[in-house]
Structures are given as C-alpha cells and as structure tokens.
Chain A
C-alpha cells in the first residue's frame, strides 16, 4: 500500500514536470484534478482574465491561476456574461498569447524573452488588453499596451499605445514593426477606447 502511494506520488510528479516546463502555464482545477494549461500568462501576469471552457464546456470548474496576486478566474459558462466570446474565440485568445514570443522573435530577428505581460485585463465582453515591458531582455525599452478585440470572427484587430514617455522614433518604428507582424492590423487606441480600458482597469 505504502509502496503504491510512493510510486503514484512520484509518477504524478514526473508527469507534471513536462507540463510545468511550458513557458506560460496556468494551473487549473477541473473535476477535482489539477490540470496544466499552457499559454495563458506567466507569474508576472495579474489582472482578471476570463477564459470560458478552454478545456471542455461540460465540467468546467472554477480555475485558479498559480501565484497570481489578483487571480485569473476561469468561470463556468453559466457565470459568464451572455455576450462573452465563446470557446473558439477563447482559444484564439490563448493562441494570441502563446505565439507572442514567436512573433516578437520574428519581428526583431533575435531571441526575446517575452515573459512579462502585465495588467492583462478583460472587460468581460469583447476586449482584452495587456501591457508588456521590454526592458532587460529586449533591445530597447518599450512599453506597449496591446489590445485585442475579439468577436464572432475571432481577433479583429489589435491596438497599441506606447506608454514609454521617452519613446524614440526608432522605438516607435520597432513597435509598429512588431505589431505588423501579427495577423491583425494594429492601430493606435482612440481616446474613447483608452478611457474605457482605464475605467475597466480601475474597476
């Protein structure tokens, strides 16, 4: 009996390790089991981030993001706003973040550790924003707020606002180059959109 317990414990740990090795991991709880869901943010990430049923709609539980000071909550569909994007959009959102570092690498032609999203927020309807700081690991300090809009067709577009007051023309150009590497068309946030996001962030 004890031998079996020890063997199971080690087996679970050994199986967890490859899942933990994903660069971006959330630990979620589903049906009493801990499930490792790659691609939804790092430990620096905070804010509230709703993903409906990324693991299967039927038995969705309340999920918990590991180490997140403010939690990322994965809510069952019944608790989601009626106009919240459904599963396919959520998967696209995940893909959006999962491929972020690949895009960055491609855009700049060099390896970039893109592991420092901050302020991921969602207003519970169709808008998700994330601020990222490219500082130590990047070629140049650049703070970008990316806003991805999602709707029935998936991600429609991303907007950006460079938050770095010392932005140089070169930085700006790199930011645009970065955003143009995405499959959606970037544009600056309008004042109204910015105000709306700020309002949501304050809430």
Chain B
C-alpha cells in the first residue's frame, strides 16, 4: 500500500512534467505565441479591469479562481467507482483536455482584446452561435454563483462533535452547566473547551453534546483576509514592492487570520453570512481588480498552496512510513479500503461509467467555467503572451494535482464503508474530505485530527470564495456585452458597472435561498462540461480561420460534446419517465443550445476559412 501511494503520486508528477515539458510546448507552437506582441492589459491599461499583473500574482488569481469546490467534491463523489478510474481521468484529462482548454482560451482572448469566449463566438460563429453560447453562460454563471454562495455558507457555519475530532472528552457536569447558560442566536450554548477549537453545547439525539464550530475559524479568516487585501493591493500595484516581500506579507496575513480565528471565531447564522458574502462580492466585482479581487486572491491562495503542500507531503510520508494502517478511521486489515475498481457500486449510486464518471469528476479534469476566467479577468491582466502557458496550462495541472491529492487522502483516511456512508448516505462529501484530511494530518505530522479537519474547511472555503468573487465579476462582464449586443446604444444604467454588479449579485442571492436550486443543479452539473466543449469548438474555428492546426482542440471538443450530450440525454430520459416536466424542459434546453452550437461550428469547420489574419 505504501509503495502504491508513492507510485501514484510520483507517477502523477511525472505525467505533469511530461505534459508541461512537451505537450504545453506543442500547444504553444501550434498557437503561434509571440512574446514581443503587446497584450491588451498593456495596450488598454485602464487601472480598473485591464491591469498588467506580475506572473506569480496572476497565476495565484487564476488558480484560486478556477479551483472551486469541483476538484474537491468531484473526485470525492467519483471514487464510488473505485480510485483508479477517477485517478486516470483526472491526470490524463487535465494534460490533454483541461490544460489545453484553459491555455487556448486565454491565448485567444488575449489576441481578441480580452473579449469573452461568447463575444469571440459572436464574430466567429455568428449571431445565432453567440445567442446560444451567451445565454448558456449567463444562466450557468447565475447557477454557479448561487450554488457556490450556499457552499461557502455551509462551510462557514459547519459544526462537528468535538470528541470525534480527537478533542479531549468533556464531563457531563461541565456540559450541563453550559446548557443552563442562555443560548446564542444559533440556539447553541457557548462552551469553553480547554484545547483546540471553539465549541458550543447542544442537544443531539436527546443527549447534550459539545460541538466544535469548525466553520468559525474559517469565518474569521475570510473576514480578516478581505479587510487586509486592499493594503496588499496598494503594496503590489502602487508601491511595487518586491515579490519576496509580497509573499512574506501574504503568508503572515494568512497565518494571522487562522490564529485570530482560533481565538475569536465568528459565529453568525447562515442568512447573515449569505448577506455578508453578497456584499463582499458586490465590492469585489465593481471596484478595480487591483484593489480587492487580485490581492485577496493572492493572500488566500497562500492557504491553498500550504494546504495542498501539506496534503501531498502527508501522502508521501504515509507512503514512506506505511503508518496509514494506524489511522483510526481506516483500520486496514479490519475495514475494507476503497477499492481500485468497483463499477457495480458506481452504477448503483451514480450511473454507468461513461458518461457519468466524466461529469461527476467535474473540474478536476476539464471545466467550461475556466474559459470564462481565462477570457474574462485573466486575459485582461496578462502582461505577455509567453505567460499564457504558465498561467493557463500549469494552473489546470495544479488543480489536477489537488484532485489527485484528495483521492489519495480519501484512500488513506477513510475506509470503503465509511466513505459510502458519509458521501452518499449522509450526502456530505465535504465532511468526508475534512475527516480524511484530519486523519492524514494526524498520521503524517502527529497533529490532532481537528487541525486537519480545520485545514480541510479552510481549503474548501478558500477555493469557493475566490471562485465566487471572480464568477460574479465575469457575469457582470458578460451582461455588459449582452446589453451592447441587444441595444445599439445601451441606456446609461445598463452600461453602469454598479447596476450590472447589483443585478448579478441580487439574482445570485435570491437563487441561493431557493430550495429549487439543488434540484436544478443536478441538470446543470453536465452544463459545465458542455460549456467547455463549446469553448473548444469556438477555439477550433478561430484557429482554423487563422490558418493554424486545430485538431488538438477539436478532438477534445468532440469527446466532451459526446459525453455531455449522453449525460444530459440520460437525465432527460430519467425525468421523462418520472414526468418531471420542469427538469425535462431544462435538459431539453441544454441539449438544444449545445446541439445548435455544435451544428454551427461543424458547418463552419467544413466550409472554407473566412478570415485569414496573422
């Protein structure tokens, strides 16, 4: 088992190296990257949306923006087929499809003045193609932002029994004393625990229990980092402080935010958090990128780097020492480990391997959302075309490494029965990852289980918030483009940044409170990958029209169209059998928009090139 873990992690790293060394170079040559060419960030620098960024800051922003909950939750759900299918698709898919998708859309958007994929499609696929893609993207982004807002709120308000996190047991008398104190706004009785996390006493199953408020630390961390972000923005973009100093300050801020969280955890109700997060994304979407969005992502991503590093190191140490057998959650030899291959269980819980594995794994391998980030905020800040590969391709591979780490963490930290129970019966994949991370950290570094669990929550929260703020900004960009398409001269209010921001954030807030959202999300899961297929098709047409080879994007586009049509078709048939007409309609609309785009793209690719530019 130890050798297997080491083999997997080393194998994945070697594959990434080969991908970066050879395939990224091939893609760069195919695109015709020109280092001397001025990018829109420099040419149109307006100090607001178009701002040339240093490559390490832009990489941090791009990675934080593209890596949401997908690479954590997706692999967790997909391991129901066993760890091997998930592992293979995460590594191969990222190298041959996901990385290419992100790099190519970033490059093309940079060549097209930082325009979005939808706006580029308007020129290359025509008005019908544009309407299909932009309506798909706008509605998809509303769903994504609302879902991520809810995920964020769930993480920030999560609790778990303190004893199960390895914290010291509390006497019944102490709990009883706490229970007699007045409850707070959440119905919890504050309780002082001698070690570890902030806690509160509540009644569970008729018994008083001490619950660790694991979300409270992340809450304080989020608030602290957000408040400090403008300061770092001033340092990086105005005072132009050196990179080492920026990293050092960001690391100190991160560490301080976690320590402050342990001392002063913020505990508020989900609705209050929902409101606060909405207020934050309004600011992050409307004010200049350098002031809040970019520096906040830069600070937050240090936690993500540290977490990722800790997990990878933990897996390696576990592999070398072979101490994973001691983990209480996975007593190897007693409990069954997660198998390499188990199609039967996968079929039972999710569906047939193809297409469902590829949809369930979400953005661990390829994601359409990434094209929005690439052609939205990132392309407007790329200071040189030669950075397109470093930022676009490499960050996708880093996201893939995150997904691999999550798979291995679960393999070490949870046994098969517990995995199935927590992930599918209790429907809480986030908890499964957090508990497995807790076990891993305990094993590898000898730290208490609760530290790993908090790390898991901090990671998830960091990824979700940094994706949420960017997604709202991207949606604002898209709406601004839509108004310009619909109206020859849009009214002043439709051109207003604040109006469009408020519209995006307002709809997101309303949708997030709906019980309808989780149901609709079942259908929109495959929409993310379909978005990716559409972007690859636009890229193929663009490359062909510019006289460049396009097979390396066309083949992934065909694969992803086939997969997403199959999964959406399956969902349509299932809902049709249940006479669930709203969901049948949603599936039909998705297939229609996807099929129309595929038809237009295919017709154009079969016709002679229309544009021939350098």
Contacts and interface: CB of A to CB of B under 8 A. Distances in A.
A140 B203 CA distance: 5
Given A21-B513, A43-B516, A27 B582 contact: yes
Contacts of B519: 43, 66-67
B206 A171 contact: yes
Given A66-B583, A67-B580, A42 B515 contact: yes
Given A64-B580, A66-B582, A43 B515 contact: yes
Interface in A135-175: 138-141, 164, 166-168, 171
Contacts of A21: 509-511, 513-514
Given A25-B515, A66-B580, A9 B206 contact: no
A66 B516 contact: yes
Contact of A22 (B127, B135, B514): B514
B63 interface: no
A10 B513 contact: no
Contacts of A2: 127-128, 131
Interface in A181-195: none
B142 A13 contact: yes
B562 interface: no
B348 interface: no
A12 to B, nearest CB: 10
Given A6-B482, A111-B185, A139-B203, A34 B511 contact: no
Interface string A114-147: 0100000000000000000000001111000000
Given A14-B507, A168-B206, A171-B206, A139 B485 contact: no
Which of A21, A22, A66 is most buried by chain B, counting CB atoms within 10 A of its CB? A21
A141 B187 CA distance: 13
Contacts of B186: 110-111
Contacts of A196: none
A112 B185 CA distance: 10
Contacts of A108: 187
A69 B203 CA distance: 31
Interface in A21-40: 21-25, 27, 29, 34
B318 interface: no
Contact of A25 (B485, B486, B516): B516
Which of B139, B204, B507, B515 is most buried by chain A, counting CB atoms within 10 A of its CB? B515
A71 interface: yes
Contacts of A20: 510-511, 514, 516-517
A6 B142 contact: no
Contacts of A24: 515
Contacts of A23: 513-515
Contacts of A81: none
B578 interface: yes
Interface in B81-132: 127-128, 131
Chain A, interface size category, equals 35 or more
B115 to A, nearest CB: 17
A67 to B, nearest CB: 3
A110 B142 CA distance: 31
B19 to A, nearest CB: 38
Given A64-B581, A139-B183, A141-B205, A17 B511 contact: yes
A110 B269 CA distance: 11
A101 to B, nearest CB: 12
Interface of B is mostly: helix
Contacts of B511: 17, 20-21
Nearest to A22: B514
A7 interface: yes
Contacts of B128: 2
A5 B138 CA distance: 14
Given A20-B510, A139-B202, A141-B203, A110 B515 contact: no
Contact of A7 (B187, B202, B486, B518): B486
Contacts of B203: 139-141
A141 B582 contact: no
A64 B516 contact: no
Nearest to A21: B510
B580 A3 contact: no
Nearest to B513: A21
Interface string B499-539: 00001000101110111111110100000000000000000
B576 to A, nearest CB: 12
A66 B518 CA distance: 11
Nearest to A68: B580
A66 B142 CA distance: 19
A2 B578 CA distance: 33
Contacts of B205: 141, 166
Contacts of A113: 270
A111 B269 CA distance: 9
Contacts of B127: 2
A56 interface: no
A173 to B, nearest CB: 13
B206 A166 contact: yes
Contacts of B486: 3, 6-7
A18 B516 contact: no
Given A23-B513, A27-B516, A67-B516, A6 B135 contact: yes
A43 B522 CA distance: 12
A25 B514 contact: yes
Contacts of A64: 579-582
24 contacts: A2-B128, A6-B135, A13-B138, A18-B510, A20-B517, A22-B514, A23-B514, A27-B582, A29-B581, A29-B582, A43-B515, A64-B579, A66-B519, A66-B520, A66-B583, A67-B583, A71-B579, A110-B183, A110-B187, A113-B270, A139-B183, A139-B187, A139-B203, A171-B206
Given A23-B515, A67-B518, 11 more contacts: A2-B131, A10-B135, A20-B517, A22-B514, A29-B582, A67-B580, A71-B579, A111-B186, A139-B183, A166-B206, A168-B206
Query: 6 smallest A-B Cβ distances: which pairs?
Result: A67-B519, A21-B510, A140-B203, A20-B514, A166-B206, A42-B515
Interface of B: 127-128, 131, 134-135, 138-139, 142, 183, 185-187, 202-206, 269-270, 482, 485-486, 503, 507, 509-511, 513-520, 522, 578-583, 585
